[in-house]
A and B are shown apart, each in its own frame.
Chain A
């Protein structure tokens, strides 16, 4: 089998986010960039197939600026065989359809049995690229995947739905979007890190795909950021002293939850 894994390079989830001067982007100064955690689940699934001898090629694909190569190298360090870097994406950040179009254009003539994508890119959290990519490539897709049984030319997949799990069968090739719980991503071994720099990263310009970032972000844009703002600071909590009279404290808590927090 040949696996494609789509990766997006996102700010570390522990980053302290500040709004940039234009009010439409985050300030990237000092931000540490990481492989989006959901894409780590997607990659791990492909690497497990390779470990079991079921996959002979794992290719990681990203559409992102130059710095995203570090994310590809990390995937290569964990064991992916090769990487494809479509350079760009700063103007189309958050535009799921634009991103899906670029990925579809890069993947349409490639050979693969499955495309694994994180259920969402941490940060923008739109949860749309995988499904859109499947539509553009005319492939079946299953989203929110937490378990995959690989059969000959098909998969039986467990997906998370409200209140339970749904089991779906799909022929391959298909697009599967990986949800937390699918697996436990591995650490890159030091040997893998040293080997990663010798693995190939194919660089593709958008023009080579017949696309143009200004058009994607302009005339064809389906997503425009008007402004970004930080959530309001949380007010300080209220501590109810209850050591002397726990019953009165509990009554006070119920009263506050009802009247002030309007929790019920």
Chain B
């Protein structure tokens, strides 16, 4: 089987350091050994492979980009490549690692107290605790600023009320980073599993991210101690900063999905014999599809590589991340559709990875800022006008 890395027309390998290549190859090998043989079954049975969490921790995949607490301290590109290789296997697995690293460990490291960091970062890094991130609500997704969840102080406690929806890892999380409206603005809170008044219920019937846990979090007069607040949080910009971190990983991860569907389609096209004893790859229509996929993957790789170098240099803006997330997830979505076409009927069964990736990427297209919202973020960057919440005409 020809792998995408054998088709490195733009010598992208040479743009990586030895460490980055080794990181990529190690995670790729691990996923090929430990995930790919079982992933179709897990997805079919709606099973998140929680049994792999200790292995992922041992490899250093949880919080890999932080240097604190003896974590690996990878650079932006190395961290991106982890996401790429995990999502080449399955978006659900990559989502788990993204949430743990970018949405749970990141806010605790950024805005947590020393006690909070000491308590949670080693456990999250070692996979002894799982985290989730509660921002989206049933009624508010793209506009989190309108959130209804509240936190009010009552003596030495905070009292949380409200609901969060579409929360990855929700019901398996030991610790939830929950964003709630307080009289002083949006603040972040750490809510531990089992706290009275806090329940997590899974969303069922998902056709997408079936190998990942997605839950609703419900807070009913949920009392947490005064020191459960993330003391450094000041407003909505804090969760949005978390999302920038997570979207960065998604921009890389989506390419992994695109690589998986492209590689499968390329192999299928050269081996599927149809007219005149020739493979379907001999037909121009199929070649055009493969060329489109390949060209877009190469462009997407160059995009995230530059983004990663900017991240390390401290010059990466959230708009730059929006551009990469928007582009690469769209590419992955189109690749999955084209790969399905090339596979013909075979593309709909789980003997091939296509339908799973195709269904997964629908979620990725919508979560962490929908494709459309990223379009409008970039539109605002270009015009200065926030079209998602346009200025009202003078009244």
Contacts and interface: CB of A to CB of B under 8 A. Distances in A.
The answer to whether A and B belong to the same complex is yes
Interface string A182-200: 0000011111011011000
Interface of B is mostly: helix
B123 interface: no
B26 A194 contact: no
Interface stretch (A70-78, A137-145, A168-176, A248-256): A70-78
B18 interface: yes
Contact of A73 (B18, B61, B70): B18
B39 to A, nearest CB: 18
A215 B371 CA distance: 65
Interface residues of A, number: 17
A188 B70 CA distance: 16
Contacts of B70: 191
Given A32-B5, A187-B59, A193 B30 contact: no
A171 B58 CA distance: 36
Given A32-B5, A187-B30, A190-B72, A73 B60 contact: no
Contact of B26 (A14, A32, A188, A197): A188
A16 interface: yes
Interface string B323-345: 00000000000000000000000
A194 B18 CA distance: 10
Contact of B18 (A14, A70, A187, A190): A70
B10 to A, nearest CB: 13
B139 interface: no
Contacts of A189: 58-60, 72
A190 B6 contact: no
A191 B29 contact: no
Interface in B58-89: 58-61, 64, 70-74, 78, 82
B60 A191 contact: yes
Given A77-B22, A196-B19, A190 B5 contact: no
Given A70-B18, A77-B22, A196-B19, A191 B6 contact: no
A30 B6 contact: yes
B23 interface: yes
A16 B6 contact: yes
Contacts, number: 52
A109 to B, nearest CB: 30
Contact of A190 (B2, B8, B21, B26): B26
Interface residues on B, range: 20 to 34
Contact of B19 (A16, A32, A187, A193): A193
A187 B26 CA distance: 7
A193 B6 contact: no
B54 to A, nearest CB: 13
Contacts of B60: 189-191
A193 B22 contact: yes
Contacts of A194: 19, 72-74
B58 to A, nearest CB: 6
Nearest to A195: B72
Contacts of A14: 1, 3
A188 B19 CA distance: 11
Given A30-B6, A70-B18, A187-B59, A193 B26 contact: yes
Residue with the highest number of chain A CB atoms closer than 10 Å, among B3, B8, B22, B82: B22
Contacts of B6: 16, 30
Interface in B8-52: 8, 18-19, 21-23, 26, 29-30
A83 to B, nearest CB: 13
30 contacts: A14-B1, A30-B6, A32-B5, A73-B18, A77-B22, A77-B26, A187-B26, A187-B29, A187-B59, A188-B22, A188-B26, A190-B23, A190-B26, A190-B60, A190-B61, A190-B64, A190-B74, A190-B78, A190-B82, A191-B60, A191-B70, A191-B71, A191-B72, A193-B22, A193-B23, A193-B26, A193-B72, A194-B73, A197-B18, A197-B19
Interface of B: 1-3, 5-6, 8, 18-19, 21-23, 26, 29-30, 58-61, 64, 70-74, 78, 82
Given A190-B26, A190-B82, A197-B18, 19 more contacts: A14-B1, A16-B2, A16-B6, A30-B6, A30-B8, A70-B18, A70-B22, A187-B26, A187-B59, A190-B60, A190-B72, A190-B78, A191-B70, A193-B22, A193-B23, A194-B19, A196-B19, A196-B22, A197-B19
The list of the 6 closest CB pairs from A to B, nearest first, reads A190-B60, A190-B72, A191-B72, A189-B60, A193-B22, A191-B60
